[in-house]
Amino acid sequence: MNIHKLSERFYHFADECKGSSELYEFLSLQIAKDEEVLRLSSYAQTGQPIPNLLFGAVHYLLLQGKKHILREYYSSLVDHPRPIETIFTPFKDFCQTYDKEIIKILQTKLVQTNEVRRCAYLYPAFCYMYEKVKRPLALIEIGTSAGLQLLFDKYSYSYGDKNVYGNVNSTLHITSRIITQQSPRFHQTAPPVTDRIGFDLHVNNVKDAEDYLWLKALIWPNHQERRELFEKAATYVKENQLQLIEGDGITLLPNVVEKISEASVICIFHTHVANQIPKDAKLKLVHMIKKIGMNRDVFHLYNNMFDGKLHLDCFINGREAKKTIGKTDGHGRWFEWKFV
């Protein structure tokens, strides 16, 4: 990728960070004008979100304990970080000092942000599916990373009032806002789940110290609440049985579906992953789900396939229906709900 396109990536990422991370917004604007750091970022694997990967690589090395003044700017590492206005010089020096380690990470790691707070909008979507067919759910997640979202029924939820849904005794409580007048119908308790299957090109094992640290590094430094949610969700993954399969989920999907009991409804879902899937593979996935829907009831919940909105497609008794749920925040802090 040429320097101009790389620069555009960082300008775009700066826009994404507005109101959420001053640190990454400021750094992105500086990197967008610096050819040396842009060239370093170009070592990222094709199809990866380059700014996320570069920032994750730097954060990962800092969390590993690399000694450098840059540490003093990260609220994930110090209680009183330095002002961001002076960060770029130490940031660039860190990149020059540890360029070999950064390049290795860029060439081998994937952006697999396992944002458990996205379960805030998965919860009502899964409630809707269960209400529609009155059968337990067989969950299949594409781009599962560490599988945190496959345990959505283990967590509790609230949406701006005193009501609490899901597992009210959970140690992990997720809050979110619905920004439309229309609201989903929340079930007091989560629907029953029979299968929890996740696919990823690289499965992150939260019991593995390296994988665990990489997932923490992908969380933006000032997002303390996200870190806490991740740590709590990771304990649930360690305590529960998941079937996490390493490989191309689109190719492996038919064989896995064949083994799922017809007493369950198939729920294929993925959040903020499809932007890394090539267009031909997306079309292959849609065709494959349609083929499955000829013989089985199946739901497909997704975003970032052909636009940024959350969609729910379904095949019930061979009949296809498509619904648009609405926009969602990438970190699950809010979402729209635009269908009944």
Q: What is the pTM of this model?
A: 0.90
* Cross-strand pairs, 244: 198
Please tell me the predicted confidence (pLDDT) of residue 61.
Answer: 98
Whether residue 340 lies inside any domain: the answer is no
For residue 189, CA distances in Å to 16, 41, 153, 155, 165 come to 34, 45, 8, 10, 6
Distance CA 313, CA 153 (A): 21
Q: Is 134 exposed, middle or buried (0-12, 13-18, 19+ CB in 10 A)?
A: exposed
Which residue type sits at 307?
Answer: D
Q: Is 68 exposed, middle or buried (0-12, 13-18, 19+ CB in 10 A)?
A: middle
The answer on 267 and 193 residing in a single domain is yes
Please tell me the predicted confidence (pLDDT) of residue 340.
Answer: 63
Give the gyration radius of the chain's Cα atoms: 20
The answer on 121 and 103 residing in a single domain is no
Q: How many residues does the chain have?
A: 340
The answer on 169 and 82 residing in a single domain is no
Whether residue 264 lies inside any domain: the answer is yes
Distance CA 224, CA 40 (A): 28
Asked whether the beta carbons of 287 and 312 are under 8 A apart, the reply is: no
- Torsion-angle region of 140 (φ positive above 0: left; ψ -120 to 50: alpha; else: beta): beta
Distance CA 154, CA 171 (A): 9
Whether residue 265 lies inside any domain: the answer is yes
Whether residue 65 lies inside any domain: the answer is yes
Characterize 157-184 residue by residue with b for buried, 16 or more Cβ atoms within 10 angstroms of its Cβ, and e for exposed.
Answer: bbbeeeeebbbeebebebebebeeeeeb
**Residue 149, token pair as written in the block:** 């979202």
Q: Of 108, 138, 157, at which residue does a domain stop?
A: 108
pLDDT digits (tens, 9 = 90+) for 298-320: 999 999 998 999 999 999 999 99
The answer on 126 and 90 residing in a single domain is no
Q: In the predicted model, what is the mean pLDDT of residues 54-82?
A: 97
Whether the pLDDT of residue 278 is over 90: the answer is no
The answer on 236 and 125 residing in a single domain is yes
The answer on 152 and 87 residing in a single domain is no
Q: Of 54, 76, 108, at which residue does a domain stop?
A: 108
**Number of folded domains that form the chain:** 2
The answer on 180 and 80 residing in a single domain is no
Whether residue 161 lies inside any domain: the answer is yes
Q: Which of 69, 66, 109 is nearest to 91 (CA)?
A: 69
The answer on 188 and 71 residing in a single domain is no
pLDDT band with cut points at 50, 70 and 90 for residue 109 = very high
Please tell me the predicted confidence (pLDDT) of residue 145.
Answer: 92
Distance CA 12, CA 25 (A): 10
Give residue 40's domain range.
3-108
Whether residue 217 lies inside any domain: the answer is yes
The answer on 19 and 128 residing in a single domain is no
Distance CA 230, CA 42 (A): 29
Q: Of 108, 137, 171, at which residue does a domain stop?
A: 108
Whether residue 271 lies inside any domain: the answer is yes
Q: What is the mean pLDDT of the chain?
A: 95
Distance CA 174, CA 165 (A): 10
In 10 A of CB 199, how many CB atoms? 24
pLDDT digits (tens, 9 = 90+) for 7-22: 999 999 999 999 999 9
The answer on 129 and 48 residing in a single domain is no
The answer on 246 and 153 residing in a single domain is yes
Distance CA 131, CA 160 (A): 23
For residue 316, CA distances in Å to 140, 294, 298, 300, 320 come to 17, 9, 7, 12, 7
The answer on 135 and 96 residing in a single domain is no
* Strand-strand pairing, 173-175 and 193-200: unpaired
Q: In the predicted model, what is the mean pLDDT of residues 115-142?
A: 97
3-state secondary structure of 258: helix
Whether residue 169 lies inside any domain: the answer is yes
**Residues contacting residue 142 through CB under 8 Å, at least 6 positions apart:** 199, 200, 249, 250, 253, 268, 269, 270, 273, 285
Question: From edge to edge, which strands make up the β-sheet containing 165-166?
Answer: 165-166, 156-158, 173-175
pLDDT digits (tens, 9 = 90+) for 83-96: 999 999 999 999 99
